[in-house]
Amino acid sequence: MQTYVKDSLLDWKEEMLKQKKEIDEEYEKVKSDLQLYSIKFSITKQVIQSTINDEIIENIKTSYHRPYEEKFNELKQYIKELDEKRKVFQMFVDKIDKVSESEIVEK
């Protein structure tokens, strides 16, 4: 019976690790995208600050700056959500490990 419990916990842990790995991979991708949009947003901001023609400034804001800012903010929110999911799945793994190592399962 106890072997069944340990094996079941191990299977569950593997499932949690698999999901966490998928989240980690998505997190890294979003992190790279966030970095890219941060750079794009920063560059457009610098160009706007260095430009004096109002028509060109508005064109840059409309075509680049605002969309990059929106995407940056969207990615920033998404990475926070992914980070929270990573923490949750890590808690599952840690709790499963703790229970697996306890005397309750071993007895």
pLDDT tens profile 23-67: 999 999 999 999 999 999 999 999 999 999 999 999 999 999 999
Kindly report the pTM of this predicted structure. Answer: 0.81
| Backbone CA torsion sign across 38, 42, 44, 45 | positive
Sequence-distant (≥ 6) Cβ neighbours of residue 23 within 8 angstroms: 82, 85, 86, 89
C-beta atoms surrounding 65 within 10 Å = 20
Report yes or no: 100 and 5 within 8 Å, Cβ to Cβ. Answer: no
Lowest-confidence region among 54-58, 75-79, 103-107 = 103-107
